[in-house]
Amino acid sequence: MAEITLPPRLEGVEPVRSIRVPASIHYRYTAGEASSKFLREVAKKRLVGQQCPLCKKVYVPPRGCCPTDGVPTVGEVELKDTGTITSFCIVNVPFMQNLMEIPYVGALILLDGSDLPIMHLIQEIPADQVVPGMRVEAVWVPDDEIGPTLESIKYFRPNGEPDAPLETYKEHV
């Protein structure tokens, strides 16, 4: 640090090395038309993606446009609540106010019929037994707790089907 010559009255005074300046701003996030529609369907226990009219890819959750072609995604496609794990990570660090028992698995799940994996929790299986290609199904919260949020799905769990071959999902890894 550069030497600073202080006036006599400040000599010997402890320098300020850091300050704390807490700041917070409240935001109201606009989900937009496509996401609003999707979330309203989630509240009915339905997963509805949108399809690009050009490349035919199905996006879920939809954001109203195809990020590849830059055109509105208008066609709606209802998806099953089953899918394939394309990739995952094992979380060994507690955060989220320690809501989760560690280790736990966060995975990218390609819902059947879609082209964009969603991120969700994997439960009901030890973390070290999760593999890419694992077939999973959604476990929904009780009907009276379902709302317009992906938290309406508690987690995904193995559905007992044999692992999907890499060829079926390698484009999405």
Partner 1 sequence: MRDIAIVSFAQSHHARAISTHNEVEMLMPLLGEAMGAAGITKDRVDFVCSGSSDYLAGQPFSFVMTLDAFGPWPPISESHVDMDGAWAVYEAWVKMQSGHADIALVYAYGKSSPGDIRRVLSRQLDPYYLQPLWPDSVALAALQARAGLDAGTFTAEQMAEVAARSRRAAVDNPFAQLAGDVEAATLLDAPDFLAPLKMHDCAPVSDGAAVLILAAEDIARELSDRPAWIRGIDHRIEPHALGLRDLTTSASTRLAGEKAGVHHGEVDLAELHAPFTHQELILSEALGLGDGVSINPSGGALGANPVMAAGLVRMGEAATRISRGDANRAVAHATSGPCLQQNLVCVLEGE
Looking at the Cβ atoms of 66 and 110, the one nearer to partner 1 is 66
For the segment 130-159, give every residue that binds partner 1 (CB under 8 A): none
Looking at the Cβ atoms of 59 and 156, the one nearer to partner 1 is 59
Helix (H, G, I), strand (E, B) or coil at 75: strand
- Taking CB under 8 A as the binding criterion, the range among 27-35, 112-120, 136-144, 155-163 that sits at the site for partner 1 is 27-35
Q: Which residues pair with 140 in a beta bridge?
A: 153
Looking at the Cβ atoms of 13 and 21, the one nearer to partner 1 is 21
Question: Does residue 30 touch partner 1 according to CB under 8 A?
Answer: yes
Min dist. Cβ of residue 75 to partner 1 (A): 16
Pick one of 1, 2, 13, 21: the residue that binds partner 1 (CB under 8 A). Answer: 21
Min dist. Cβ of residue 102 to partner 1 (A): 25
Rounded Cα distance, 83 and 114, in Å: 9
18 Cβ contact partners less than 8 Å away, ≥ 6 residues apart: none
Rounded Cα distance, 73 and 54, in Å: 9
As separate numbers, helices (DSSP H) first and strands (DSSP E) second, the chain gives: 1, 8
Rounded Cα distance, 57 and 113, in Å: 9
159 Cβ contact partners less than 8 Å away, ≥ 6 residues apart: 82, 135, 136, 137
- Two structure tokens written together for 47: 């997963």
For the segment 54-113, give every residue that binds partner 1 (CB under 8 A): 63-72
Looking at the Cβ atoms of 31 and 127, the one nearer to partner 1 is 31
φ, ψ (nearest 5 deg) of residue 5:
-90, 115
Min dist. Cβ of residue 21 to partner 1 (A): 5
Looking at the Cβ atoms of 8 and 27, the one nearer to partner 1 is 27
Q: Which residues contact partner 1 (rule: CB under 8 A)?
A: 19, 21, 23, 25-36, 63-72
